[in-house]
A and B are shown apart, each in its own frame.
Chain A
Amino acid sequence: MINSEKNLLRSIVVGLAFSLSTTSASAEVAEGTVLSKSNIDQLYEDSFDGHKIKDLLTKKMEMMIRDFGMVMRLEKSTDVKFPSHYWEASKANQGKATLSADGKAVEGFVAGIPFADITEDDPMAGWKLEWNHFYANPLIGDSWAASGDVWVTTNEGGVIDNFKAVSAKAITEGRTEGEAKIAGDNDHASYLLVLTEPYDAKGLGVFTKQYNNGKLDDGWVYIKNLRRTRRTAGGKAWMDPQPKMDLLNDDNQTVLGFPAFYQDFKLIGKRWILAVVNAPDPNVAHDPKDFIDLDNPPHWVPTTDANPWQPREVWVVEGIPPEEHPYGKKVMYMDVNFPMYYLAEIYDKKGDFWRIWRQSYSPSKTASGEPTLAFIMTQAIDFQRQRATFINIEHMFTNWLEQKWFNQSVLQKAASGAFQKELDSVRQRYLKN
């Protein structure tokens, strides 16, 4: 009898809750609800995971839902974990790094997040956040490798191009697993990029060195058709368009350029947004259409199955690039707990909205078994030209790659497919762990 009464009571409560949810302006939205053009007005004032839906959407994300058919499956916030050595280094070295008065130089950086205790009233907060990102983006870790399947689409025509590349980055200072510094005093990071498809581009590789003192990048390119490695002009290459894509080199992880190349980084404030941190593991075989609806206009909407959107508290940082940069400003959204961006809204020199950059992330693990994040996709959507670039990540590893892959002489070897083979090998080990 008691159970029957309980069941009756539960039915009444659930019924009431359902009734209220359809009539009240501040009801709780159920986890798994798909926010879309058809229900955004209905759910706008409702709450999810303690936040009103309207407060979780930036104006541009709302525009993407209302005008372009963006859909977002809602998920409650989860913990995001990074390696213990990352947090230990951040704690151990806290207070050692100092920022110059103009924000354009950091002294005393050792490892981990250099400026962990940032407050909204700190006038240099924007600079500190970007330096945190430069030195200690946990997604990169000590080294990072990924292979990407790049799809270029137009809103009306669908897919217009497709190519593949493998890339990797190693930071050579501020490492948190092993020695903190493994190169010269001025070295910051090394990058390797090798195109793998289509055939005429296969083997073309670029190796870049980035410095921590404002020196322009150095670059080398292996030209497959000539079988020759050539030095390239680093100069302003960091702000050049990436071939065929709707991205600048500077858009990699939102800001790739040396922070001091920017005119300013300003903290706009703190808020909550919806972001994806709990997507499927990119290292498990998948189809690009599992992640993006490539078949239907505008051909860039993330799928609901692979992209659960959850509330994340973020810093809103406005970056003002130099005069010669193609962008006027970037409004960027960084998690308040670690220096990793979820989203950037990009404006042209006239101040008109131009592009969106965003990534979906998923839980992953390092070679030593520590938890970390990977990303399953990068999206760059050009709202002025009505086209988009979607990078479907096929491999993604943090702290798995040996340092031997980061030098000029590896370009020729990588062109023969050796780097792709290495990533395949790492994936096998990753999946076994």
Chain B
Amino acid sequence: MNKLISRGGSAAIASTLAFTSMAVSAFEVGSLTVNGYLRQYISVNLEDQPETTDDDAWETQMLRTTLFLDATLPTGPLNWTGRFRFSKDVQTDYEDDLENLTDLGGGFNKADFEDEYDETELKDVTRELFFDWEVNDRLSLRVGKQQVVWGETDFFHATDVIHGYDIRWRSFLVPENQDVRKPLGLIVANLLVPEASGELQLVYRPGWDDDDDVGNHIPAFGGRWSLNRNKGFNLIGSAPFDYHHEEGDVDDAHYGARWSGSLGEDDAVNYSVSYYHGQTGFQQDPILVCSDQSAFGTAACTGPFNGLAFILPETDTIGASASGYMAGIDTVWRAEFAYSPDRPLGTAFGEIVEIDAWNFVFGIDKTLRLQNALGTSSPSLFTVQVFDWYLPDVDDEPTAAAGGDVVMNFIGSGKYDEHNVIASAILNLPYAGDRWTVSLVGLADLTNGGGAFIPAVEWAPGPKWRIKLEADIFFGGDTQTPGGFPPDASVFGAFENMDQLLLRASYQF
């Protein structure tokens, strides 16, 4: 643990504590109200990383400070909301080592970790900025940079296809989806139709966002969340994003509609149907293909990297979701499916193949009253979800559906199979008048094996402080072949050696 706080860490923490010791509270100026938080993240490796020469166990992996401001201002019929996040990473010795590894000689292909992690420029700091206008009792509009969430399930995005995610600084492990979802400039209209017990939502994205606001921001630049055997290798430097590819141009409009409502006696079933034309659909990761917009400007993939680029293909997603309550077992069920016809995917050869893709999710939520058995202070929520990304006729061996090749996911799960099934389970255990909450999260890859176990405890001593300690433990699955290309790890095998501890301290106001 002697390396827990490395270069810059002490200073960052000291400045944080100095700031938070002041009397900070929500403030109001006229009708302007501002809330938010100041947060410090500290994470340490629990294992050595084979990519570096040093022993990385107990090395500080992340030192990140975030100031978040959430402001609201009513002006006549419009209610304005602005959400601003300033985040700064103090680069640790470990990250220095990784960044240096990305230098292939003379600065060639070297990644800029600070540029990847920090949110200091106005466009990045402005997370959301929109106004709400309640036109009448039925129609309301929300216009501006915002987040729109569809579907019934968290973490697995079936019909929730409007936004990408920024998983560069903390991979998929941030439980608050809104903190990693990438907001977009949208015009959203909601029309209540009580006669049909429902609501119609229309979403239009004119395409005025910056290029990199669309699709997932992936950690494939060699940093702390690059997958195993790829840390210290800047894949994006070799295969940059082509945001204006013929298969998907971020300047083009995205649009869609969702009808949500309830059916049956006493609103027995909540349901929705939706359609969205956007980019990347329910697999928000970009695909790696041969492109004429690559770093080297060549059209053909003549070498391992020449001509390769990440693109965000256009997709149409047709989806539906439903949820209901089973009184007999006091359990809520949730189901969701999405269909993306002719979904462009990349092969190991960098070719684009179009495959009908399906996404199925089923989950249950059960309230467990464990007060007598485990001494908890309130009921516990137990959630189980099963997710299947279904690609008919695709196999992890070359198939005709993939043009005689395999369908690849260069971001995490290596080769796709016909069914790609993941299950999750979450249990929360509140104690001591709900001031301490233990959470247990389990994930399992039911196709290729492996999983993750994420125990955490959060202390909420009052209205201001939130202190969370979390362990991220990965196990099993197919691991990456050393030196192999393309990647062949499975979802959780790709996280080999990446066990870590995270401390998150927040002071909210």
The interface of chain A, by Cβ under 8 A from chain B, is: 152, 160-163, 184, 186-187, 197-200, 202, 209, 211, 215-216, 218, 220, 224-228, 230-237, 240-241, 243-244, 387, 404, 407-409, 413, 416-418, 421
CA distance A407 to B138 in the complex (A): 13
Chain B 346-372 against A: per-residue CB contact (8 Å), 1 yes, 0 no?
A: 000000000000000000011101000
When chains A and B are docked, how far (Å) is the Cα of A417 from the Cα of B508? 18
Given contacts A161-B435, A199-B35, A225-B177, contact A230 B365 (CB under 8 A): yes
Assess whether A226 is in contact with B149, with CB atoms less than 8 Å apart.
yes
- Nearest to A159 among chain B residues (CB) is B462
10 A–B contacts, CB within 8 A, in A order: A152-B433, A160-B433, A200-B466, A225-B176, A227-B147, A231-B323, A235-B325, A244-B435, A418-B79, A418-B132
CB distance from A433 to the nearest CB of B (A): 23
**Which residues of chain B come closer than 8 Å to A224, judged between CB atoms?**
178
B466 touches A209 (CB 8 A): no
Instruction: For the complex, give the distance between the alpha carbons of A310 and B108 in Å.
Output: 85
A173 → B minimal CB distance (Å): 14
Cross-chain contact A404 with B137 (CB below 8 angstroms): yes
Shortest Cβ distance from A228 into B: residue: B149
Number of interface residues of B (CB under 8 A): 59
A199: contacting residue among B74, B265, B462, B508, CB under 8 A: B508
A416-B463 CB under 8 A given contacts A184-B266, A408-B262: no
Enumerate chain B residues within 8 angstroms of A163, measured Cβ to Cβ: 463
Q: Which residues of B contact A226 (CB under 8 A)?
A: 149, 154, 176-178
Residue of B nearest to A243 (CB): B434
Among B54-62, B94-102, B326-334, the stretch in contact with A: B326-334
Q: Please, which residue of chain B has its CB at the minimum distance from the CB of A421?
A: B74
Among A202, A230, A234, A408, max chain B CB count under 10 A is at A230
Q: A199-B70, A233-B365 given as contacts; is B462 within 8 A of A228 (CB)? A: no
Q: Which of A162, A209, A225, A232 contacts B463 (CB 8 A)?
A: A162
| B35, closest chain A residue (CB) | A199
The residue that A233 contacts in the complex, of B152, B367, B466, with Cβ under 8 A, is B367
Query: Is B270 an interface residue, CB under 8 A from the partner?
Result: yes
Docked CA distance A389–B74 (Å): 33
Is the beta-carbon distance between B175 and A225 smaller than 8 angstroms?
yes
A199 with B26: CB separation less than 8 A: yes
Residue numbers in B under 8 Å from A186 (CB-CB): 265-266
With contact pairs A211-B266, A232-B332 given, residues A240 and B379 touching in the complex (Cβ less than 8 Å): yes
A413 to chain B, nearest CB (A): 7
Give the distance to chain B from A214, nearest Cβ to Cβ, in Å. Answer: 11
What number of A-B contacts does a CB cutoff of 8 Å give? 131
Contact among B270, B462, B508 for A231, CB-based, below 8 A: B270
Residues of A within 8 A of B267 (CB): 209, 218, 408
Residue contact A416 to B81, C-beta cutoff 8 Å:
yes
Chain B, 129-167, contact with A by CB distance < 8 Å: what is the 0/1 string?
Answer: 000101001001000000101011010000000000000
Q: State the CA gap A224–B35 with chains docked (Å).
A: 14
List 10 tightest A-B contacts by C-beta distance, closest first: A235-B330, A225-B176, A198-B463, A227-B149, A199-B508, A199-B35, A244-B434, A231-B323, A233-B367, A231-B332
| Distance of A290 from chain B, by nearest CB (Å) | 20
B192 contacts partner chain A, Cβ-Cβ < 8 Å:
yes
User: Measured between C-beta atoms, what is the minimum distance from B383 to chain A in Å?
Assistant: 10
Distance of A198 Cα from B36 Cα, bound (Å): 10
Could you say which residues of chain B place their CB within 8 Å of the CB of A418? 79, 132, 134
Q: A382–B377 Cα gap in the complex (Å)?
A: 14
Q: Which residues does chain B contribute within 8 Å of A240, judged by CB atoms?
A: 367, 369, 378-379
Shortest Cβ gap from B49 to chain A (Å) = 31
Give 19 new A-B contacts, CB below 8 A, not counting A218-B267, A233-B325, A240-B378. A160-B435, A162-B463, A197-B26, A198-B508, A199-B37, A199-B509, A200-B466, A211-B266, A215-B327, A226-B154, A232-B367, A233-B330, A234-B327, A235-B330, A243-B430, A244-B433, A409-B192, A409-B199, A416-B81
> A236 with B369: in contact, given A161-B462, A202-B35, A230-B152 (CB under 8 Å)?
yes
| Chain A residues with CB below 8 A from B230, complex form | none
